Structure 1
Amino acid sequence: MTDAPRRRARGTLASIAAEVGVSRTTVSNAYNRPGQLSPELREHILAVARRQGYPGPDPMARNLRTRRAGAVGVLFTEELSFAFEDTASVDFLAGLAAECGARESSLLVIPASSGAGEAGADLIRGAAVDSMVVYSVADDDPFLDIVARRGLPTVICDQPTDRAGLPFVGIDDRAAIRPAVRRLVELGHRRVGILSVRLSRTQRDGPVHRRDLAEAHHHVQRFRIEGALAELAAGGVDPDAVPIIGRHLNNPAANDSAAAELLDAHPGLTAVVCTTDTQALAVLRAAAARGIRVPEELSVTGFDGIELARAANLTTIVQPNREKGRAAGRALFAGGPRRVILDTRLEPGGTVAPPRPEAAAGR
């Protein structure tokens, strides 16, 4: 026999109903259908429940009964920390969360990165969600098929752009980047380089060749590069002469090394077009470290319109990341158009100027 005190049993629906003198259904309604009870009765029931140590209905059991999880899953093929470090992703999730909150649904981020393998597949299969948002995924990602097999309402955001039968929310990336490049061409820039993030799930850092572009499975980056090259070609610049440097990861270390590689390997460049603001900020850091004045000696453009870019007075393409999240939420909850293409705009900033005459002449 032990002298340890017995643990007090927690209250149950039955014990609360017995003390209050109502049915178990009435106690359940105090939590799940409060409008069916008078405020006085509901408060009395909740007070008895608190005194008996009753924590409330088991959410898992309730989900089994109602067959509703009350959550939207976001397939995010990056490390989980990236969702809260990348400003564009944070803005997107904030917009989606606003729509979820307005409909009393929560948000579950499912971090199934490219290297997650079967563990990532299990996360998707086991996620207790009512619907899914696929956020910026390669068109050959095997996790797409796992999402499809769940048969849940699903919206794709950003990429892939050609998944048949699923609603899509995004921007026209090819067209969106062209105003920034057009500005450079109009000012006289002809020696232009490009920085990009990964084009495929397989890690490949360094120069990007035409073959890499043709075989790219990440549509967003491919389309932004293609749009930039098309605008340069329209301005008389040979696309094959444009150096492109890519990195698999879009983090400060990778972006800093990409900027350094581009500037050191091509010292005659007068402008750099970046497919993200974070890369453009890295170019500004690399230029400062090398004593290159922006924009007097080097013009720089970004893409996204994040707060840090605006604070740096970066010339960039502003896309509505928060509205993109809200549009994805509306597509899930309210239906509507099957394809939503949001507008973008050029933010002039202060990082673009005409090239110096001697640089423009190639001297």
Structure 2
Amino acid sequence: MPERSRRPRRVSPNTLASIAAELGVSRTTVSNAYNRPDQLSEELRERIFAAARKRGYSGPDPTARSLRTRRAGAVGVILTEALHFAFEDEASVDFLAGLARQTRLCLTLIPVGPEEANPALVTGAIVDGFIVYSVPAKDPHLKAAYERGLPVVVCDQPTGEPGAHFVGIDDAAAITKAARVLIDAGHRHIGILTKRLFSTPRNGPVNRPELADADLHVQRARVRGALDVFDAAGVGDVPIVTRHLNDRDSAAGGAGELLTAHPELTAVLCTTDSMALGVLDYCAAAGIDVPGELSVTGFDATAAARAAGLTTVEQPNVGKGEAAGAMLRSLIESRDPRREAPREVILPTRLIAGRTVSAPRQGARAPRQVPRRP
């Protein structure tokens, strides 16, 4: 048979192969210019990019690369708040900053909100693993994350999940620092204003039997830790008011409810800085002097709280994000993450002494009318 004439192989103008053929390098070298730039010299990378620009080539197709490598290059962050909260709440912003430093991957924020469930957002997320940031026990989104079979790191709550990789603080022990400051100052009429205790929306007073049934572990642990200190000091009945939303307007409403019903209170312990700043807003509107008439403590040590001079408990929110990110990255890079023994990281906390605690006033505080917010 006559030998077939060999014709030059034609390559598509928009492929790695055509660029490699033009420059006399391998396809792997061209791919590395986009995916592993540290493997090439700056001069060679620029030659590759210049050749690519001539062909209108913008880089390897991310979908094809994901199918080939079985990696999405992203981490899913399941938030128990509305999406805007991740950018407005300082503690959440700090956590995400620390997380971004350590994962070295894109972050896909999956807001599930405090009032609605949508596990499909988790099952449909194109990610390599999940950070579950403070969700209730038996939350359907946590269940959906585990069912994906991808690495999962739980941050803050729920606690005590069998086989879970966990990063957080000892919330009950941390809040005792603020509770003892109030006791040491001489306060014996103390109320508690807490962020969301129940996954089902609820605002108003909470008694101790109801507290035992709270399914949000972080706030429950903080309230219990404070009550342990108050009980040991012989403090009488401690009124507790919860607010489902963790914002200053909601907290100011909770402060009004608490202080109007209990004018004998000389101090309010808050389980978040947002709650405490809402109390300060209420007091400013009602003409209540802090700390002359009312002492207030918070929790988180956000920049806004420090600027307000709030006495608060500092937890390492950036460090928490870094620890969770490093743990998840290690699991993603593991050959068999399902065989990894459960890890737990408990981070330290400390008290930040501010200007919102002093010795208790004498006598009951007269109730005041506070103008409604528009």
Could you tell me the TM-score, scaled by structure 2's length? Answer: 0.87
**Residue 305 of structure 2 aligns with which residue?**
309
- Given the alignment, which residue of 64, 69, 81 partners 1:78? 81
- Given the alignment, which residue of 281, 288, 293 partners 2:289? 293
Contact 1:331–1:337 (8 Å) recurs in 2: no
Kindly report which structure 2 residues correspond to 1:283-362, keeping only aligned pairs within 5 A, or say none. 283-334=279-330, 338-358=343-363
**Displacement of 1:356:** 2.2
The one-letter amino acid of 1:340's match is V
- Could you tell me which runs of 5 or more consecutive residues in structure 1 were left unpaired when the two chains were aligned: 1-8
Paired with 2:262 and 2:290, the residues of 1 have a C-alpha distance of 16
Gap change, CA 1:330 and 1:16, over 3 Å in 2: closer
**SS of structure 2 residue aligned to 1:245:** strand
Gap change, CA 1:264 and 1:109, over 3 Å in 2: same
The one-letter amino acid of 2:255's match is A
The one-letter amino acid of 1:85's match is E
**Displacement of 1:40:** 4.3
- Could you tell me which runs of 5 or more consecutive residues in structure 2 were left unpaired when the two chains were aligned: 1-11, 332-340, 366-374
The one-letter amino acid of 1:351's match is T
The one-letter amino acid of 1:106's match is C
- Given the alignment, which residue of 190, 199, 202 partners 1:204? 202
Gap change, CA 1:25 and 1:303, over 3 Å in 2: closer
Contact 2:301–2:313 (8 Å) recurs in 1: yes
- Given the alignment, which residue of 222, 225, 230 partners 1:224? 222
**Residue 6 of structure 1 aligns with which residue?**
none
**Residue 111 of structure 1 aligns with which residue?**
111
The one-letter amino acid of 2:351's match is L
Could you tell me the TM-score, scaled by structure 1's length? Answer: 0.89
**Displacement of 1:340:** 1.1
Q: Percent identity?
A: 60
The one-letter amino acid of 2:46's match is E
**SS of structure 2 residue aligned to 1:300:** strand
Contact 2:19–2:48 (8 Å) recurs in 1: yes
**Residue 5 of structure 2 aligns with which residue?**
none
**Displacement of 1:253:** 2.1
Gap change, CA 1:281 and 1:35, over 3 Å in 2: closer
- Given the alignment, which residue of 13, 16, 26 partners 1:13? 16
Paired with 1:36 and 1:230, the residues of 2 have a C-alpha distance of 58
Q: Does 1:172 align with 2:175?
A: no
**Displacement of 1:140:** 2.1
- Given the alignment, which residue of 44, 48, 55 partners 2:47? 44
Q: Does 1:274 align with 2:274?
A: no
Gap change, CA 1:59 and 1:269, over 3 Å in 2: same
Gap change, CA 1:11 and 1:135, over 3 Å in 2: same
Contact 2:110–2:122 (8 Å) recurs in 1: yes
Contact 1:279–1:302 (8 Å) recurs in 2: yes
**SS of structure 2 residue aligned to 1:301:** strand
Paired with 2:316 and 2:352, the residues of 1 have a C-alpha distance of 13
| RMSD value, Cα | 2.1
Larger fraction in helix = 1
**Displacement of 1:20:** 3.8
**SS of structure 2 residue aligned to 1:246:** strand
Contact 1:199–1:212 (8 Å) recurs in 2: no
The one-letter amino acid of 1:348's match is A
- 1:283-325 Cα distance to aligned partner (Å, 9 max, x none): 1111121111111111001111111111111111111111011
Paired with 1:205 and 1:136, the residues of 2 have a C-alpha distance of 19
The one-letter amino acid of 2:205's match is P
